[in-house]
Structure 1
Amino acid sequence: MNAFPRYVPGGLAFVDIETTGGPAQCESITEIGILQVDEDGMREWSTLVRPESRIPEYIQRLTGIDDAMVADAPRFADIAGEVFDRLDGRLFVAHNARFDHGHLRAAFRRAGLDMRPQVLCTVKLSRRLFPEHRHHGLDHLVERHGLMVADRHRALGDAQLLWQFWQKIHERFPPGYLEAMVRELIGRPSLPPHLDPEQIAGLPETPGVYLFYGERGGETDGELPLYIGKSTRLRSRVLSHFAADHQSDRELSLSQQVRHIEWIETAGEIGALLEEARLVKRLQPTHNRQLRRNRELCTWRLATDIVGDWRLELVHAADLDFGRRDDLYGFFRTRREATNRLRALARDHALCPPLLGLEKKPQGARCFGFQLKRCRGACHGGESPQAHALRLIEALHTLKVEHWTWPGPIGLREGEALHVIDGWRWLGTATDEAMLANILESGRPTFDLDIYKILIKAVKRLPILML
C-alpha cells in the first residue's frame, strides 16, 4: 500500500495547531505539529509557540500546555520562515482545516508572508467517504477506524492521527476513487466542515433571507438559529461568509458551528430587509449583533401645559400610537440615551436645562448654564418663554419623527408581492387577494424602530397602492 498520492507532486503536510482559544487575529497559537509525507518518506516536526496572552485554565487542562511551558518558546515570527518552508508547495491536510489554516495564514500575514496552499479538510473527506455516519470529529475517527492515540490534543499527536486515517482509507478504497474525491474537495468552494454540500447546491441566486443552524438542524427541531442574514443574491452571500473566515474571527466561529441552512425567498431587497428584521426579533440568533428586540424604545413629546407653555416629556413606544402623531422627536433605545441627546441639544443651542427638565433650577436664581454663558436667560426672564420655545422647536427639527400622512393602510408593490403597512408598521406581505384580506384583518403589530427605518426609505422607492 502506497498512501502517498502521485497527483500531489509537492507532497502532503498533515497539520495541527493548539491555541489559547483566542481569535486568529491575535497571536494565540501555542503549538504547531507538522507531519510531512512525500516520495522520500515521512518526517515529523513540532514546536511550542509563545502566545501574546496567558493560556486559560480550561485550555491548559485540555492540552496539557501551560504558561510555564511556553515561557521560553519562540514567537511565531521567529519561526515563520521555517514553518512556511515545511508547508510550501504541499497539500495542507488538517481536521476542521478552516481553523488551522485560518490561524496560520493570519499569523503568516503578521510576519509579512503570504501562504496560499491547497487545503484538504479531513472532516469533509470523512463525510464524503462515510456518509452513513453523522459525526466526524477526530475522536469519532479514532474509535471508528481503530487509530492509535499517542498524545491527544497535542499538535504532533493529532497530526499523527490524521496520517493514520489517511493510511486507513487507502487500505479501504481504491487509489483512483480517493484521487477523484480529493481533487473534487480541494477544487470546490470552501465550505464549513459539517455542512452538507447539497445545502449549498439548493440555494437560489435570488433575494431573500438565510438562517444558519447548528447541531440539531433547524427551527422544525426546536432549535434557534445561529445567525440570520439577508441578500439580493442568496447563494453568493452565503458563500461569502465561508470564503472570508480566515479574515474574520466571527465568520470563522460561525463556519465551525453551522450544520444546516434554511432560506426564505422574497420579491426583492425591501422584502428581504423586512423579513430579516422580523425573524431576528422573533428568534434572537446568537451571532446577530443588530436588529435586536428593544423594549425600552422611547421618544420626546413636545406638548403644552395648562398655561400654554411648551414642555418636553419622555414617553415610551408602548404607550403611544407612533406614526399617527405629529409631536414626537427622536427614537432612543434607553432613557439615558434620550437624556444625553437632549443635553447635547441644550448645549449646542444655548437652551435652558431646567426648563427642559434636565436639572432643577435653584429657587429664584439663574441656572448654572447661564453662569457658564450656555443659557440665554429664559430661566430668570432674560429671554421670553416664547422665544425659548421657538428655539427649542428649531433645535428638535432634525429629530422629528416622520408623520404617517395616509388615512389608512397602504401597499408597497415589489415585483409580485405587496408589502402592507399602516402607521409605519409592517402588517405582512401578500401575493394574492386572500392573503391581503387576512393581513388587513389581523391587526397591527407593535411599533418597531428597525421596521420604521426600512419603511421610511421604501415609500420613496416603491409604487404605493391605497388599500
Structure 2
Amino acid sequence: MLPCYVLLDLETTGGNPVHDRITEIAAVRVEHGVEVARWSTLVNPGVHVSGFIEQLTGISNAMVASAPRFAEVAPELLALLDGAVLVAHNVRFDHGFLLNELSRLDVTLRVKTLCTVRLSRLLYPQFKGHGLDAIMQRHGLTSAARHRAMGDVEVMQSWLTLAQTELGAEHVAGLAQRLLQGSAALPPQLDTNITDIPDTPGVYLFFGEGALPLYIGKSVKLRSRVMSHFQAAGRNAREMRIAQEIRRIEWVETAGELGALLLEARLVKARQPVHNRQLRREGDLCAWRLEANPNSRPLLTLVRGSELAPEQFGALYGPYRSKSQAQSQLRELAETQGLCLQALGLESGKGRCFGHQIGRCKGVCCGEEAPERHHLRLQLALAGNKLQVWPFAGKVGVREHNARTGRTDIHLFDQWCHLATVHSDDDLHEALHSRTEPLAFNLDTYRLALKHLLVPGHDKLKILEFPVSTAIQ
C-alpha cells in the first residue's frame, strides 16, 4: 500500500485525548509489503478504568496495575514509528492520544498519518458504513479479540490485504497516497471535500447532523484555517468535540478580511452556534452618560437600548456588554484616579464618603475638592473610553478588492452601523436609496468600523463618501 507504514491501535480509558489515558498499544510495521515487526503491550494509565471501558475492551484495573507506564514503552513505540506512516482506523483518535502522551514527556511527535476509515470511503463508496464493525460484516472478516488493540490491528491488516486483492494494489496505493497528501487529519465522517474549499478570504460554517451550525469562523485563507481546526483536535478539547460532531462544511467567500469579519459577526449573532464563545448576542449593551453640570448627582447615568444612539456619542463612554461590567470597570477607574464613588452614583449617602475616610477620594463629597476639578479629572479618566462621534456627513463605503480573485466588495456604513455589503452598481444604488429600519448599535461592528475608518494603517482600503459616486471602481 505504502512503502513503509505502521498499523496501530490504542485502547484507552475514554474518548478525550486531553483527559483520558492509554491502556493498550498494538502495532505492526510493514515495509514494501512485508511485515517486519509486531508489538503490543498493556499500559498502566495511572487512572481508574471505568466499568464501561472494562466491559467494552476486557481490560481491567487489575490487568494494567503491573503494566509499564507510557513513559517506559514510549522509546520502543517511537522506534517502530520512525520513518513510517501511522495508519489507524479513525487515525485522529489514536494520533491525538499519542500527541498528548508524548507532550507530557516533552517529546514532539512528527509523523504522517493515514485514516483507514477515509480510505474505505474512497475504495468502497457504494457502502454507507465504514466503521470497523461495518467493514468486518460486509467483507466477512472475523476477530476473536475485537476491541483489543492487536485484534483490531489484525482486522485492519486483513481488510487491506482483501482490498488489494479485490481492487488492485496500485488502485489502493494511489488512493492512499492521495489521502496522505492532505486529508488524513480530517474527521472520517466529514462529507465535504476539503479540496473544494478555496484558500481565499471568507467565512466558514461547521454543521453536524442538524440545521444549526456548530461553529462559525472567518479567515483570509479558508481552507488552511479549516484544516487547522482538525490538526488541533488532538490537543484541544473543544476542537476535538467539533471534529467528532462535524458532518459538513459550508463557506462564503469575501473580498478581504473586513468583509469576513463583518459577515462572521452577523452570522454568529443570527445563528448562535453552540461552540462560538464570542460575538454573541448583546442583550444588555450599555454606556455611561456624563452630565455637563459638575454639581449634578450622580455625575454618570447608565444608558441602554434606544438611548444608546450614535447621535449622543459625544457624551457617552463605553460601551459595555452588561451593567455589572460597566460598574466594575468604573469602580476600578475611581480607585486608581481617586474619584468619588458617591458623586459617580456608585455609593449612596450624603457628606463624606467612605473612600475619603480611607484616603481614596479627594473630597468632592465634603467640599475639600472643587466640583469643577473633580469633573475635569473624571473626564480625563474616561477619555480613553469615549464613544466616537460619526466623523462623516452621511453614509460611507469601504471598498475592498481582491486582486487574486477579482472580487470587489463595498461595505456601507452609517453612524457606525453596517448597512450592507454590495457587489454591483445596482446593488449599491438600491442600498444607498432604500428606506431602512432605525439603526441598531452593535459593539463588534462599531469596533470594526472604528478600526478600518479611522485608525492609520488601513489606508489600502478605499473609503467612499456618498453622495460622491455610486459606481464601483
Q: The TM-score by the shorter chain falls in which range?
A: 0.7 to 0.9
Judge conservation of contact 2:186–2:227 (CA < 8 Å) in 1. Answer: no
Which among 396, 399, 411 is matched to residue 397 of structure 2?
A: 411
Which among 164, 169, 177 is matched to residue 163 of structure 2?
A: 169
In the other structure, the counterpart of 1:51 is 45
Judge conservation of contact 2:290–2:300 (CA < 8 Å) in 1. Answer: yes
In the other structure, the counterpart of 1:219 is none
What is the CA-CA distance between 1:343 and the residue it aligns to? 0.7
- Give TM-score scaled by structure 1 length: 0.86
Structure 1 residues 223-274: Cα deviation after superposition (integer angstroms, max 9, x where no partner): 1222222122223333333444445444444344433221111122111110
In the other structure, the counterpart of 1:264 is 252
Judge conservation of contact 1:50–1:70 (CA < 8 Å) in 2. Answer: yes
Which among 18, 21, 41 is matched to residue 11 of structure 2?
A: 18
Q: 1:229 to 1:452 in 2, by over 3 A?
A: same
Judge conservation of contact 1:80–1:111 (CA < 8 Å) in 2. Answer: no
- The worse-fitting range, judged by mean Cα deviation, of 245-254 and 369-378 is 245-254
Judge conservation of contact 1:209–1:263 (CA < 8 Å) in 2. Answer: yes
Structure 1 residues 210-235: Cα deviation after superposition (integer angstroms, max 9, x where no partner): 22223x4xxxxx61222222122223
In the other structure, the counterpart of 2:110 is 116
Judge conservation of contact 2:13–2:23 (CA < 8 Å) in 1. Answer: yes
Does residue 435 of the first structure (1) align with residue 427 of the second (2)?
A: yes
Q: Secondary structure at the match of 1:379?
A: helix
Structure 1 residues 47-92: Cα deviation after superposition (integer angstroms, max 9, x where no partner): 3323355456655554454555544433211211122233334442
Q: Distance in 2 between matches of 1:56 and 1:392?
A: 60
Task: Tell me which stretches of 4 or more aligned residues in structure 1 moved more than 6 Å.
Answer: 195-198
CA RMSD of aligned residues (A): 3.0
In the other structure, the counterpart of 2:376 is 390
Aligned residues between the structures: 452
Q: 1:323 to 1:237 in 2, by over 3 A?
A: farther
Judge conservation of contact 1:191–1:197 (CA < 8 Å) in 2. Answer: no
Which among 63, 67, 76 is matched to residue 73 of structure 1?
A: 67
Does residue 372 of the first structure (1) align with residue 364 of the second (2)?
A: no
In the other structure, the counterpart of 1:291 is 279
What is the CA-CA distance between 1:398 and the residue it aligns to? 1.1
Judge conservation of contact 2:84–2:111 (CA < 8 Å) in 1. Answer: yes
Judge conservation of contact 2:202–2:218 (CA < 8 Å) in 1. Answer: yes
In the other structure, the counterpart of 2:404 is none
What is the CA-CA distance between 1:349 and the residue it aligns to? 0.8
Q: 1:306 to 1:201 in 2, by over 3 A?
A: closer
Paired amino acid for 2:364: A
What is the CA-CA distance between 1:323 and the residue it aligns to? 5.6
Paired amino acid for 2:367: G
Q: 1:90 to 1:145 in 2, by over 3 A?
A: same
Structure 1 runs not aligned, ≥5 long: 217-221
What is the CA-CA distance between 1:94 and the residue it aligns to? 0.4
Structure 1 residues 428-449: Cα deviation after superposition (integer angstroms, max 9, x where no partner): 1112343235434232453221
Judge conservation of contact 1:299–1:331 (CA < 8 Å) in 2. Answer: yes
Q: 1:50 to 1:464 in 2, by over 3 A?
A: farther
Q: Distance in 2 between matches of 1:244 and 1:195?
A: 17
In the other structure, the counterpart of 2:415 is 423
Structure 1 residues 88-111: Cα deviation after superposition (integer angstroms, max 9, x where no partner): 344422011122123213323433
The within-5 A match list for 1:178-257 is 178-194=172-188, 199-214=193-208, 216=209, 223-257=211-245
Judge conservation of contact 2:294–2:371 (CA < 8 Å) in 1. Answer: no
Q: 1:151 to 1:195 in 2, by over 3 A?
A: closer
What is the CA-CA distance between 1:413 and the residue it aligns to? 1.9
- Give TM-score scaled by structure 2 length: 0.85
Structure 2 runs not aligned, ≥5 long: 402-407, 468-473
Paired amino acid for 1:466: F
In the other structure, the counterpart of 1:98 is 92
Paired amino acid for 2:24: E
Paired amino acid for 1:285: P
Percentage of identical aligned residues: 43
Does residue 357 of the first structure (1) align with residue 345 of the second (2)?
A: yes
In the other structure, the counterpart of 2:386 is 400
